[in-house]
Amino acid sequence: MEVATALGVGRSSWYRAIESGYLEQLFPGVVRLHGTPSTLPQRALAAVWAVGPGAMASHRTSAALWGVERPADDPIDVIVTSRSRMPKRPGIILHRPRDVLDLRPIMRNKVPTCSPTRMLVDLGAVDEGSVDAAMIAILVSKVVSPIAIRAALARHSRRGRSGITPLRLALDRWVGDELPPDSLLESRMSTLIANYDLPPVEFHAMVAGYEVDFLVVGTPIVLECDGWGSHGLDRDQFEFDRIRNAELVAEGYIPVHFTWRALNDSPQKVADRIRAAVARWS
């Protein structure tokens, strides 16, 4: 309404337009033209305006604005740093956090909203089951990196801070299997081979013009240890890995992939997979 007043629209004209149905009131002082399609950015911006200066979309609403799929019936979350009393607005969940770090608004679809890292931390406080999917969507879109998320966790971690644990667990689940140093990978594979009586392997063998992690000696079996964060997020690396895999197969080699996490947490399964491949292709 303040904008309308600045443009010379009087209070009586404002309320007449609402009563006549020309304008539809979304919140006190915030309207839209009747019949305008309802969109999330529109509802989010209306909520931010209704709350007042310093407000921004947050939590579930911010996630949706950053491209994360969210249920259509999500409430509108708005965060504000002001401690002054504000009237309740139906349909808006107002958050007044004690943690006021990283609350510089970023415009998304013309709506002031939280940064993606702040959103991921806050999302776990209201819907911890959705943090994994939200984090993956943000990482795949390359809005932020795993390093940026870890840095945000470090900044916001403090006793009683809700939302930290779900995000930390999600990051460990999905990016916690990054590749270790060569010496540790070689040592762990040597232990696996000894413990499960597998054929010997050659570390960093050259195969069909490519350096591979391991070649099972005397077989066409190539063993590759993959890191999700390094291989799953970079488009060029993703394409190169597929071309490399296809060329190895074309040359008669059989790539067998496993993750560092699997090598550590499920060595029996990794050993069974290698043994089955050797039995079939050696």
For residue range 15-68, list pLDDT tens digits in order. 566 667 677 777 776 777 777 788 999 999 999 999 988 999 999 999 999 999
Please give the structure tokens belonging to residue 261.
């996490």
Q: Which residues pair with 92 in a beta bridge?
A: 76
Q: Which domain holds residue 246?
A: 182-281
Please give the structure tokens belonging to residue 229.
């964060």
CB of 78 closer than 8 Å to CB of 92:
yes
Q: What is the pLDDT of residue 18?
A: 64
Number of domains in the chain: 3
Q: Based on the domain organization, do 67 and 8 belong to the same domain?
A: no
CATH number of the domain enclosing 221: 3.40.960.10
Q: Based on the domain organization, do 150 and 60 belong to the same domain?
A: yes
Q: What is the pLDDT of residues 196-224, one digit of tens each?
A: 999 999 998 998 888 888 999 999 999 99
Helix (H), strand (E) at residue 171: helix 164-175
Q: What is the pLDDT of residue 57?
A: 97
Q: Based on the domain organization, do 152 and 241 belong to the same domain?
A: no
- Residue partners of 234: CB distance under 8 A and separation at least 6: none
Q: What is the pLDDT of residues 96-139, one digit of tens each?
A: 999 999 999 999 999 999 999 999 999 999 999 999 999 988 88
Q: What does the alpha-carbon distance between residue 31 and residue 54 come to, in Å, rounded to a whole number?
A: 20
The three-class DSSP label of residue 196 is: coil
Please give the structure tokens belonging to residue 49.
């305006």
Residue at a domain's end among 175, 190, 223? 175
Q: What is the pLDDT of residue 4?
A: 46
Q: What is the pLDDT of residue 3?
A: 46
Q: Based on the domain organization, do 217 and 230 belong to the same domain?
A: yes
For 142: left if phi > 0, alpha if psi spans -120 to 50, otherwise beta; the answer is: left
pTM for the complete prediction?
Answer: 0.64
Q: Based on the domain organization, do 170 and 42 belong to the same domain?
A: yes
Vertex 70: Cα angle to 69 and 72 (nearest 5): 125
Nearest CA-CA partner of 233 in 148, 167, 154, 156 = 148
- Residue partners of 243: CB distance under 8 A and separation at least 6: none
- pLDDT-derived band of residue 237, with 50, 70 and 90 as boundaries? low
Q: What does the alpha-carbon distance between residue 243 and residue 223 come to, in Å, rounded to a whole number?
A: 16
Q: What is the pLDDT of residue 244?
A: 85
Q: Based on the domain organization, do 11 and 139 belong to the same domain?
A: no
**Strands 56-57 and 76-79: what pairing?**
antiparallel
How many CB atoms sit inside 10 A of residue 74's CB?
16
Q: What is the pLDDT of residue 1?
A: 46
